[in-house]
Structures are given as C-alpha cells and as structure tokens.
Amino acid sequence: MRPYNLIEGDDGRRRCAWCEEHPLYKSYHDNEWGVPTFDDKIHFEFIVLESAQAGLSWLTVLRKREAYREAYANFDIDRITSWGRREIETLMNNSGIIRNRKKIEASISNARVFREISAKNGSFSEWLLEFFDGRILVNNWRTINEIPSTTPRAVAIAKELKAVGFRFIGPTVMYAHLQATGIVNDHLVGCWKRQSLDSG
C-alpha cells in the first residue's frame, strides 16, 4: 500500500506533509522531531516551549526559539532554579518571548521539579522511558489523521508531573513532548526521516 500524507520535497525526499508549510517546520522535522534525545537540557527546553505554546501555533514558538534560548540562559536548569521575582520581571519585559506571567512563573517552578525528577532517576528521559518499558515507541501511522493528540501514557505522565508540582503540563502538551524528543516516533511510514531513524 502506498503511504498517504507524504509530500516530496525539492530534494526528492518524502516527508510528513505538515512540515512543508514553512521552512522552519521543514528544518524542525528533518533535524529534531522524533529524533531520540536523552539530554536533560533539551528536554527542559522543549517543556518550556511546549508549555508556552498553549493557545498558539508551534510556528510562533519556533520563530521565538533563539530569543528563548537567550532569555533562559540556554536552558541552564541549575541557573533557572535559582531565579525569582527579578528574573520573572526581566522575562516579562522581553518582547522576544511569549510574555504570559503564569507561563513564565511555571517555567521556573517546573525547572525545580524537573531537576528533582532527574536527580532521582538518572535523567528526565530515563524517567519518561519507564512508562514505555525502557524502549522508544515507534508507531506505524500512514496518515496524519491517525496520529493521536494524546494517549493513555501521556495522560499518566502528565498526571504524575502535576502531582509533583508541574504546571501547564496536560496530556496534549505531554504527547507533543514525547513526539518532539523521540520517545515516541510518529513520522509516517515512508517518510525519509523515519527510514533514517529505523536504519540508525
């Protein structure tokens, strides 16, 4: 059966069609989305960005990504956990990021909880992988419509994170995080990136 919802780019590669909407999406699809990462700094960066996205498009967030990296000290978790009112006001005055006070305050308190989870489990990704029996989940979707916005595992992870103090983390945000960091591979069957990950 021929895969659906793939589009062939100028380079002859077939990709998940959603990434052709903008060059930033294409770069994100080709270089990050679905690629397994076990680096706490990257996981925390995505959590901050995904939480900030709520109610906005991911493209809006990608356009602000470099400003976020600068504003958040390149997502140095140890530095961020020490931030307080002064840093919050600095972030609120930064036009390069999404200036939502509750989201900014949550990003700092989440950093503290994130570090605790990482310290207890070796890394944040190791903690996440416990929900998947220690293995990356590779799905076999052929159409974009098959890809869920959340799953029972994402619901369970979000519930546990909220129980220990995380804010702005729901099941949908959590599933987006799992996809972004490659804990779940949702590239469509026939996508060149999926094939490169499978062969790697």
What is the value of pTM for the model shown?
A: 0.95
Active-site pick, 18, 20, 28, 126: 28
Sorted by sequence, the CB contacts under 8 Å of residue 64 that are 6+ apart come out as: 96, 97, 98
Asked whether the predicted pLDDT for residue 14 surpasses 60, the reply is yes
Neighbours of 69 (CB within 10 A): 15
pLDDT per residue as tens digits for the range 161-189: 999 999 999 999 999 999 999 999 999 99
**pLDDT band at residue 4 under the 50/70/90 scheme:** low
Catalytic residue status for 72: no
pLDDT per residue as tens digits for the range 87-140: 999 999 999 999 999 999 999 999 999 999 999 999 999 999 999 999 999 999
Which CATH number describes the domain made up of 6-199?
A: 1.10.340.30
Phi/psi for 163 (5° steps) reads -65, -30
Catalytic residue status for 28: yes
Q: Are 163 and 157 in contact (CB under 8 A)?
A: no
Active-site pick, 58, 68, 72, 141: 58
